[in-house]
């Protein structure tokens, strides 16, 4: 067999790799966009297969594919086309999607890539020659029936993003939240010093501190669900500009129902197809929630990094697991590498949000946004990075963290902020003077109070009880 075959389209002849399932329009895009060498993410390719499957099911059930239009299919051809869509959705043809992410802004090249692969695979399933010029299952007339890239490509982005959030990100965050909640409960009796402005503050319990982290992750899960809600409306059925030209009146609703059934997610038809075709505000909102989750994960991992600093000259209130040698020159040094990994990931996601914001604001003119491939790729990258780094952090750091009880409790009595609980007894001014004298003399607040008979012994004991300082009262 020759290395190449000749394919024809409305612009003429194109040389296509002989064994490829894709055809001329895909090849033109491959040649036009030698940009990054990075194809669309697999989640998006598979979502395109799902969207084509759902559209095909709707058209089948509405009698459009086997109707009286040009080149109607028979039932066997329809089922072969649907089976081919499902194979793409299952990832069996990921390698047949070579077009660069940085392509035509609507994603038309990738939509035609999907149409060509699905049509040729269906022909092959039927025992035909997928390389023949005549296409009994046609990429435009049949696979793309009732569709435009302008509505199906953003639909595929929404499906891919929603699936990734539901199946990857939310489970990862839930796992992290569970671990932090367990640590908070286990460490609830350990008293330590609080810190505000990185300076000594009043005591709290290590469990309370980690309970705060757990709540941050709980709120992140709520934000992930709001991110999911932001992409539940689907543009499919709007076709070129939102009017729904060349579609059956029930096509959009039926397609969305098929996608909901296939994914288990409550997708619905867009309330307004002109908005849904033209704007990607839902994706901007979705990524805004992802950015907030990234901010939270950065903060939690950085706080844990600080709490684990040491082991001799830092806080070292939490012992982080040793994962790898930390220095090429300092023997025995171990670093908080999992915290650092998460902080880098979350910084990347925060930067990604700028790409999404610019793409949403400046990319949509009139009836179409022309920044969709980069928006889809960037959002899916953010979800994947957040999910993977969270799982890694849980497995290689959070689950194995241990409390350093001795280190936590050692600093409490030495803290000058112990004087805060004296305010109700002696007033702010006198308590502040005690704190300054304690710092200058090197003595503790308790020692000075005892030397100067600031309060009766029983009252002083009650006032300077560290445990009572960790609760209201």
Which residues are part of the catalytic machinery?
197, 327
Torsion angle, CA of 40/44/47/52, rounded to 10 degrees?
A: -40
String of DSSP letters for 51-75: HHHHHHHHHHHTT-TTSSSSSPPPH
Q: Which helix (H) or strand (E) covers residue 4, if one does?
A: strand 4-9
For 308, half-sphere exposure in the C-beta direction (CA atoms, 13 angstrom radius) is 22
Torsion angle, CA of 132/97/107/79, rounded to 10 degrees?
A: 60
Evaluated on CA atoms 209, 211, 212, 213, the torsion sign reads positive
String of DSSP letters for 296-344: HHHHHHHHHHHHT--SSSS---EEPPP-SB--SSSTT-B--HHHHHHHH
In the chain, DSSP finds a helix count (H) and a strand count (E) of 17, 10
How far, in Å, CA of 71 to CA of 139, rounded?
A: 12
How far, in Å, CA of 297 to CA of 345, rounded?
A: 9
Instruction: Tally the residues of the chain.
Output: 473
Contact between residue 16 and residue 28 where contact means Cβ atoms under 8 Å apart: no
């Amino acid at each position: 067999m020759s290395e190449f075959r000749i394919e024809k389209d409305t612009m003429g002849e194109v040389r296509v790799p002989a064994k490829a399932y894709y055809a001329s329009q895909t090849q033109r895009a491959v040649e036009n966009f030698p940009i990054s060498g990075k194809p669309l993410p697999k989640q998006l390719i598979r979502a395109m297969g799902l969207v084509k499957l759902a559209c095909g099911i709707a058209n089948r059930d509405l009698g459009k594919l086997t109707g009286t239009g040009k080149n109607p299919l028979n039932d066997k051809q329809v089922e072969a086309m649907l089976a081919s869509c499902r194979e793409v959705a299952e990832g069996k043809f990921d390698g047949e999607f070579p077009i660069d992410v940085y392509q035509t802004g609507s994603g038309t090249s990738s939509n035609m890539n999907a149409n060509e692969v699905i049509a040729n695979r269906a022909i092959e399933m039927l025992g035909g020659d997928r390389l023949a010029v005549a296409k009994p299952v046609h990429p435009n007339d049949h696979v793309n029936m009732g569709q435009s890239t302008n509505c199906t490509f953003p639909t595929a982005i929404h499906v891919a993003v929603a699936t990734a959030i539901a199946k990857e990100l939310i489970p990862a965050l839930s796992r992290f939240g569970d671990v932090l909640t367990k640590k908070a409960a286990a460490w609830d009796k350990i008293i330590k010093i609080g810190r505000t402005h990185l300076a000594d503050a009043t005591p709290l319990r290590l469990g309370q501190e980690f309970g705060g982290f757990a709540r941050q992750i709980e709120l992140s899960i709520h934000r992930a669900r709001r991110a999911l809600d932001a992409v539940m409306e689907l543009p499919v059925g709007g076709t070129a500009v939102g009017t729904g030209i060349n579609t059956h009146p029930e096509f959009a609703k039926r397609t969305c129902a098929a996608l909901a059934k296939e994914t288990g997610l409550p997708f619905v038809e867009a309330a307004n197809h002109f908005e849904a075709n033209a704007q990607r505000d839902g994706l901007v909102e979705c990524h805004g929630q992802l950015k907030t989750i990234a901010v939270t994960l950065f903060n939690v991992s950085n706080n844990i990094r600080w709490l684990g600093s040491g082991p001799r000259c830092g806080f070292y209130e939490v012992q982080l697991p040793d994962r790898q040698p930390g220095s090429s020159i300092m023997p025995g040094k171990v670093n908080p590498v999992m915290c650092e990994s998460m902080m880098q990931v979350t910084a990347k996601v925060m930067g990604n949000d700028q790409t999404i914001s610019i793409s949403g604001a400046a990319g949509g003119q009139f009836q179409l946004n022309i920044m969709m491939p980069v928006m889809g790729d960037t959002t899916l990258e953010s979800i994947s990075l957040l999910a993977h780094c969270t799982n890694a952090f849980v497995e290689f750091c959070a689950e194995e963290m241990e409390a350093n009880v001795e280190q936590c409790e050692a600093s409490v009595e030495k803290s000058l902020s112990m004087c805060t609980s004296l305010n109700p007894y002696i007033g702010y001014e006198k308590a502040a003077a005690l704190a300054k004298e304690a710092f200058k003399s090197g003595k503790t607040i308790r020692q000075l109070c005892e030397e100067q008979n600031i309060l009766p012994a029983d009252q002083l004991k009650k006032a300077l009880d560290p445990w009572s300082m960790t609760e209201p009262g």
